[in-house]
A = this chain, B = another copy of it.
Amino acid sequence: RWTHVLAGLVAGTGAVLAYSLHHHKAQQTETAIEKRSALPVFTQEEVTSHRSLEDGVWVTYRGGVYDITEFVAVHPGGDKILLAAGGALEPFWSLYAVHNQEHVLEILSEYKVGELSAEDLKKQRSVQTADPYSSDPVRHPGLRVNSLKPFNAEPPSEILSDSYITPSAIFFKRNHLPVPRVDPGSYRLQVEGLPGGALALTLEDLKTKFPKHTVTATLQCAGNRRSEMNEVKQVKGLNWGIAAISNATWGGAKLRDVLLAAGYRPEVATWARHVQFEGLDRDASGTYGASIPINKAVSEDGDVLLAYEMNGEDLPADHGYPLRVVVPGTVGARNVKWVGRITVSAEESGSHWQQNDYKGFSPGTDWDTVDYKSAPAIQELPVQSAITSPADGAAVEGSSQEVTVRGYAWSGGGREVVRVDVSLDGGKTWQVARLEGGQDQAPPPPGRAWAWKLWELQAPLPPGAQELEIVCKAVDSSYNVQPDSVLPIWNLRGVLSNAWHRVRVKVRED
Chain B residues, Cβ within 8 Å of A479: 360, 378, 380-382, 496
Copies in the complex: 2
Is A458 part of the binding interface, using a Cβ–Cβ cutoff of 8 Å?
no
Contact call B488/A473, Cβ cutoff below 8 A: yes
Beyond A478-B413, A482-B483, is A419–B375 a contact (Cβ under 8 Å)? yes
- Check: A431 CB closer than 8 A to any chain B CB: yes
Q: Mark A348-390, 1 if CB is under 8 A from B, else 0.
A: 0000000000001011110000000001101111110000000
Q: Which of B363, B419, B446, B483 contacts A296 (CB 8 A)?
A: B446
CB pair A446–B293 under 8 Å, yes or no, is yes
* Chain A interface residue count, Cβ-Cβ cutoff 8 angstroms: 47
- A56 part of interface (Cβ distance < 8 Å): no
Decide yes or no whether A480 CB sits under 8 A from chain B: yes
A364/B413 in contact, CB under 8 A: no
A480 touches B383 (CB 8 A): yes
A483 touches which of B381, B415, B484 (Cβ 8 Å): B484
Q: Does A485 contact B (CB under 8 A)?
A: yes
Q: Complex Cα distance A231/B402, Å? A: 34
Chain B nearest CB from A293 CB (Å) reads: 4
Tell me the residues in window 14-59 of chain A with beta carbons closer than 8 Å to chain B beta carbons.
none
- A430, A481, A482 — most chain B CB neighbours (10 Å): A481
A223 to B273, CA, bound (A): 36
Give the distance to chain B from A502, nearest Cβ to Cβ, in Å: 13
Task: Select which of B375, B427, B478 is within 8 A of A381 by beta carbon.
Answer: B478
Contacts of A301 in B (CB 8 A): 295, 299
Q: What is the chain B residue whose CB lies nearest that of A331?
A: B479
Decide yes or no whether A94 CB sits under 8 A from chain B: no
The answer, yes or no, to whether A124 is at the interface (CB within 8 Å) is no
Do A363 and B430 touch across chains, with their CB atoms under 8 A apart? yes
A197 touches B (CB below 8 Å): no
**Interface residue from B364, B379, B419 paired with A478 (Cβ < 8 Å):** B379
Q: Are A362 and B483 in contact, with the CB atoms below 8 A? A: no
A446: which B residues are within 8 A, CB to CB? 293, 295-296, 379
| Cα(A481)–Cα(B295), bound, Å | 24
Indicate whether A477 sits within 8 Å of B376 (C-beta atoms), given known contacts A429-B364, A446-B293.
yes
Does A160 have its Cβ within 8 Å of any Cβ on chain B?
Answer: no
In the complex, A191 has a CB within 8 A of chain B: no
Per-position binary interface string of chain A over residues 279-304, scored 1 when its CB falls under 8 Å from any chain B CB and 0 otherwise:
00000000000000101100101000
Query: Does any Cβ of B come within 8 Å of A447's Cβ?
Result: yes
Residues of B within 8 A of A251 (CB): none
Closest chain B residue, CB of each to CB of A447: B295
A301 to B301, CA, bound (A): 12
A421 is an interface residue with CB less than 8 A from chain B: yes
- Given contacts A430-B488, A446-B293, A446-B379, A478 and B412 within 8 Å (CB-CB): yes
Q: Please, how many angstroms separate the alpha-carbon atoms of A378 and B476 in the complex?
A: 11
Q: Give A299's nearest chain B residue, CB to CB.
A: B301
Q: What's the minimum C-beta distance from A396 to chain B, rounded to whole angstroms?
A: 21
Task: Output the least CB separation between A61 and chain B (Å).
Answer: 39
C-beta contact mask, A300-311 vs B, less than 8 Å → 1, else 0?
Answer: 010000000000
A362 B432 Cβ-Cβ under 8 A: yes
- A417-451: CB near B (< 8 Å → 1, else 0) gives 01101000001011110000000000001110000
Q: Tell yes or no: A85 within 8 A of B by CB.
A: no
Instruction: Please tell me if the beta carbons of A363 and B445 are within 8 angstroms of each other in the complex.
Output: no
Enumerate A460-484 residues with CB–CB distance to B below 8 Å.
473, 475, 477-484
Chain B residues with CB below 8 A from A475, complex form = 360
Asked whether B296 lies within 8 Å of A380 as measured between CB atoms, the reply is no
- Is B293's CB under 8 angstroms from A382's CB? no
Within 8 A of B (CB), among A202-247: none
- Contacts A363-B429, A412-B478 supplied; 7 other A-B pairs, CB < 8 Å: A365-B432, A381-B479, A479-B496, A480-B480, A481-B483, A481-B489, A482-B483
Interchain Cβ contacts under 8 Å between A and B, 11 examples: A295-B301, A362-B430, A364-B421, A364-B429, A376-B418, A380-B477, A382-B480, A412-B478, A413-B413, A413-B478, A481-B489
